């Protein structure tokens, strides 16, 4: 299978479609916000026209009122991957949510941990705001923590998982999903020079408001009863636009806050997908024509198959 990782705004979705055409691929989402129905603009969910070019799975299939965890993702993605392989096609997993994809690739043991999305959201915010040191401090404060526990303290994935296990009050655990054998995986990473990436996402955010697409979408969600009390509606762009529509901030402040949160999120994604991770074959898209990038990617894939 192929896995395509990288920060938001780098162009993963469009490149994935081109790669899928060359590899008999079907695209499977692992972005924790593109799973939601009715939330397309700020999440940059692939358009209907794009999804019609190549089969797409696990996009816009969950009601925003429903909490969706890493455990839930594992169950859904394993089912979809089996279906794709049964058709003789290649699963191409595309997204930017590190916890989702590493839980699959590293085969995290989640069977004894019930979903705790609120804790995971809190820990991800700590990682964004305080870095790995903030997570380490949080871990050490756990009542059940012992220095004898073996964990890579510089690996945010493992630290978050350990915190969740240590903070869990045991109850009857759900049935564990079928173990997925994670062999023959190729992980492709797409990146851009940071200033170029920030400018690209800033312009995309401005366009959402110039075209009034995001305010219209958020207004529609509010009319359907989806409020900022829901975890989904606190996503980047949605919380700020709700505050704008409630006259709790002006347009300029709204846009600036969305841009600021997006930059922080990008930095967090680079914590999950490190440029020096030897498992990831990185492609820097800066100043390289699309056809040359695709040639390089296809050559890399063909050498490993």
The mean pLDDT of 63-70, rounded to a whole number, is 87
Q: Note the pLDDT of residue 115.
A: 55
The mean pLDDT of 278-284, rounded to a whole number, is 94
Q: Is 80 exceeded by the pLDDT of residue 303?
A: no
Task: Report which of 86, 90, 88 is spatially closest to residue 2, judged by C-alpha positions.
Answer: 90
Q: Note the pLDDT of residue 178.
A: 39
CATH number of 194-268: 1.10.287.890
CA angle 7, 10, 295 (to 5 degrees): 120
Q: Is 80 exceeded by the pLDDT of residue 122?
A: yes
The mean pLDDT of 241-267, rounded to a whole number, is 97
Report the share of the chain in percent with pLDDT over 90.
59
Number of H helices, E strands in the chain: 11, 6
Q: Note the pLDDT of residue 67.
A: 79
Q: Note the pLDDT of residue 161.
A: 77
The mean pLDDT of 104-122, rounded to a whole number, is 74
> Which of 48-57, 99-108, 292-301 has the highest mean predicted lDDT (pLDDT)?
48-57
* CB environment 203-233: b (16+ within 10 A), e (fewer): ebbeebbeeeebbebbeebbeeebebebbbb
- CB atoms inside a 10 Å sphere around CB 52: 10
DSSP 209-270: HHTTHHHHHHHHHHHTT--TTSSGGGSTTHHHHHHHHTTSS-HHHHHHHHHHHHHHHHHHHH
What is the per-residue pLDDT across 169-220, written as a single tens digit (0 to 9) for each? 443 333 333 344 446 899 999 999 999 999 999 999 999 999 999 999 999 9
Q: Are 160 and 103 in contact (CB under 8 A)?
A: no
When pLDDT is cut at 50, 70 and 90, the band that residue 111 belongs to is low
CA angle 301, 304, 305 (to 5 degrees): 85
- Copy the structure tokens of residue 137: 């401090």
Q: Note the pLDDT of residue 150.
A: 64
User: What is the average pLDDT score of the chain?
Assistant: 87
Distances (CA, A) of 292 to 255, 285, 298: 34, 10, 10
What span, in angstroms and rounded, lies between the C-alpha atoms of 233 and 218? 9
Task: Report which of 267, 212, 198 is spatially closest to residue 241, judged by C-alpha positions.
Answer: 212
- CB atoms inside a 10 Å sphere around CB 24: 13
Structural domain boundaries of the chain? 112-173, 194-268
What is the per-residue pLDDT across 285-301, written as a single tens digit (0 to 9) for each? 998 877 788 888 877 77
Q: Which helix (H) or strand (E) holds 14?
A: helix 12-23
What is the per-residue pLDDT across 22-45, written as a single tens digit (0 to 9) for each? 899 999 999 999 999 999 999 999
Q: Are 119 and 90 in contact (CB under 8 A)?
A: no
């Amino acid at each position: 299978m192929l896995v395509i990782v990288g920060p938001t705004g780098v162009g993963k979705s469009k490149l994935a479609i081109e790669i899928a055409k060359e590899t008999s691929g079907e695209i499977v989402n692992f972005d924790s916000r593109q799973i939601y129905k009715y939330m397309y603009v700020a999440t940059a969910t692939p358009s209907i026209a794009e999804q019609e070019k190549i089969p797409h799975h696990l996009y816009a299939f969950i009601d925003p009122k429903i909490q969706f965890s890493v455990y839930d993702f594992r169950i859904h993605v394993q089912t979809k991957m089996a279906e794709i392989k049964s058709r003789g096609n290649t699963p191409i997993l595309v997204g930017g949510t590190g916890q989702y994809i590493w839980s699959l690739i590293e085969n995290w043991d989640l069977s004894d941990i019930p979903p705790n999305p609120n804790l995971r959201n809190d820990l991800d915010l700590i990682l964004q705001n305080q870095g790995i040191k903030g997570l380490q401090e949080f871990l050490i404060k756990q009542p059940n923590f012992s220095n004898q526990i073996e964990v890579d303290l510089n690996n945010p994935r493992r630290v978050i998982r350990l915190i969740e296990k240590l903070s869990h009050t045991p109850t009857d655990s759900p049935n564990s999903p079928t173990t997925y054998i994670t062999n023959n995986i190729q992980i492709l990473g797409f990146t851009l020079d940071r200033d170029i990436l920030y400018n690209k996402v800033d312009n995309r955010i401005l366009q959402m408001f110039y075209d009034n697409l995001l305010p219209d979408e958020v207004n529609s969600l509010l009319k359907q009863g989806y409020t900022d009390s829901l975890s989904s509606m606190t996503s980047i762009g949605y919380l700020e636009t709700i505050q704008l529509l409630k006259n709790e901030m002006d347009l300029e402040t709204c846009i600036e806050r969305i841009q600021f949160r997006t930059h922080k999120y990008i930095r967090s994604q680079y914590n999950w997908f490190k440029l020096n991770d030897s498992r990831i074959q990185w492609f820097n898209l800066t100043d390289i024509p699309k056809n040359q990038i695709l040639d390089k990617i296809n050559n890399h894939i063909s050498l490993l198959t």
